[in-house]
């Protein structure tokens, strides 16, 4: 018993020492001039397409990013067709509107170049639209509580990767019409798995990717919330993306989920948007991508 007493005394002393060494540290970060941030992703789906332009802001700033107005925004395809984007509301959301209902900007196997002119600088990025698999099925089932996961409905999306290695995808999920957009919600696939060399070419997406459409959320007591309940709607889109876009999203996910004991310093994710003047010190952030899209939706009903 004496050894246990000394152990508890030692632990108590350690805790007191640690609490006594607790100080508030104010981090003084160097501020840099605001940079243009491009959020541009076009698809092969009919209807308007939107490109968002904002300015970067300090790390600890909690206000919405300032809108970039007065820019000239256009996309040119590999056939020389030019699509102009306008900002009618002066809110930094530049929109291309089709001339006829059902018209789409993007098309399969075509490449596209984005150009943004702003304050005397021109920025450019290129992407292409690759093939996308159809969604075979979007299913759900009720599971009892297990391993800390609550009793609830869980969903899976089934789609088969194309034969031929190197296809990459972004699986986007909407719950009750709202895009799941947290860092942990980013669900990307290289062929049917997580990365190149996984020997999963031409197969159905592996289970973690199929089940990556289930949102993981905690309540105020850090208890897991049900991903889906009766009457919830689930809508899943599969975007075909380039390998470059896959690695961009992979790095975004790393930055957004960066934390804990092994966290690394936060940094800007490399962009494909470059200044056409290589001698200019003015740089941009963000990404321009192009995708073909397949989609499916379901509403959870009692079985």
HSE toward the beta carbon, residue 75, CA cutoff 13 A: 26
pLDDT at 11 over 70: no
Rounded CA gap, 298 and 46, in Å? Answer: 22
Query: Which position has the higher pLDDT, 13 or 218?
Result: 218
Contact 122, 276 (CB under 8 A): yes
Asked if residue 61 lies in contact with residue 34, where contact means CB atoms within 8 angstroms, the answer is: no
Counts of helices then strands in the chain (DSSP H, E): 3, 16
Per-residue pLDDT, 261:
64
pLDDT digits (tens, 9 = 90+) for 64-85: 999 999 999 999 999 999 999 9
**DSSP output for 152-180:** EEEEEEEEBPPSSTT-EEEEEEEETTEE-
- Alpha carbons 36 and 123: distance in angstroms, whole number: 9
For residue 15, pLDDT beyond 90: no
Instruction: Report pLDDT digits (tens) over 31-63.
Output: 678 999 999 999 999 999 999 999 998 877 788
Residue 236 CA to residue 109 CA, distance in Å, equals 23
Three-class SS of residue 37?
strand
Query: Is the pLDDT assigned to residue 138 strictly greater than 80?
Result: yes
Query: Residues near 303 by Cβ (< 8 Å), separated by ≥ 6?
Result: 142
pLDDT tier for residue 252 given thresholds of 50, 70 and 90: very high
> What is the average pLDDT score of the chain?
91
Sole residue written with tokens 């968002």: 52
Q: Residue 29 has which token pair?
A: 């970060």
Given this model, what pLDDT does residue 161 score? 98
DSSP type of residue 45: S
Q: Which value, to the nearest 10 degrees, does the dihedral of the CA atoms of residues 68, 269, 181, 294 take?
A: 90
Domains and CATH numbers, the chain: 36-130+267-290 (2.60.40), 135-261+293-299 (no CATH)
CA nearest to 43, candidates 114, 101, 97, 108: 108
Q: How confident is the model at residue 89 (pLDDT cuts 50, 70, 90)?
A: very high
The Cα 242–Cα 240 span in angstroms is 7
Distance of alpha carbon 214 from the chain centroid: 15
pLDDT for residue 27: 56
Write out the E strands in the chain: 36-43, 49-55, 72-77, 82-85, 93-96, 111-118, 121-128, 135-143, 152-159, 168-175, 178-179, 187-190, 233-241, 274-275, 284-291, 293-299
Phi, psi of 195 (to 5 degrees): -155, 170
């Amino acid at each position: 018993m004496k050894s246990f007493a000394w152990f508890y005394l030692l632990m108590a002393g350690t805790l007191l020492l640690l609490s006594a060494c607790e100080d508030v540290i104010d981090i003084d970060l160097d501020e840099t001039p605001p940079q243009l941030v491009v959020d541009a992703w076009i698809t092969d789906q009919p209807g308007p397409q939107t490109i968002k332009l904002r300015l970067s802001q300090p790390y600890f700033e909690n206000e919405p990013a300032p809108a970039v107005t007065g820019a000239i925004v256009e996309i040119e395809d590999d056939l020389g067709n030019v699509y102009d984007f306008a900002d009618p509301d002066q809110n930094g959301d530049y929109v291309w509107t089709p001339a006829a209902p059902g018209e789409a900007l993007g098309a399969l196997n075509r490449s596209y170049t984005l150009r943004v002119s702003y304050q005397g600088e021109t920025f450019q990025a290129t992407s292409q639209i690759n093939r996308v698999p159809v969604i075979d099925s979007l299913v759900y089932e009720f599971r009892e509580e297990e391993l800390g996961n609550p009793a609830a409905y869980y969903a899976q999306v089934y789609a088969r990767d194309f034969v031929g290695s190197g296809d990459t995808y972004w699986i986007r999920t909407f719950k009750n019409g709202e895009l799941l957009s947290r860092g942990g919600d980013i669900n990307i696939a290289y062929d049917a798995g997580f990365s190149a060399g996984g020997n999963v070419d031409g197969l159905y997406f592996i289970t973690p990717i199929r089940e990556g459409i289930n949102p993981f959320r905690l309540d105020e007591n850090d208890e897991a919330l049900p991903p889906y309940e009766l009457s919830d709607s689930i809508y899943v889109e599969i975007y075909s993306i380039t390998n470059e876009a896959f690695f961009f999203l992979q790095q975004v996910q790393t930055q957004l989920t960066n934390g804990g004991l092994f966290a690394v310093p936060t940094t800007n994710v490399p962009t494909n948007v470059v200044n056409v003047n290589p001698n200019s010190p003015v740089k941009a952030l963000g990404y321009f991508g192009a995708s073909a899209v397949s989609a499916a939706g379901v509403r959870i009903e009692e079985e």
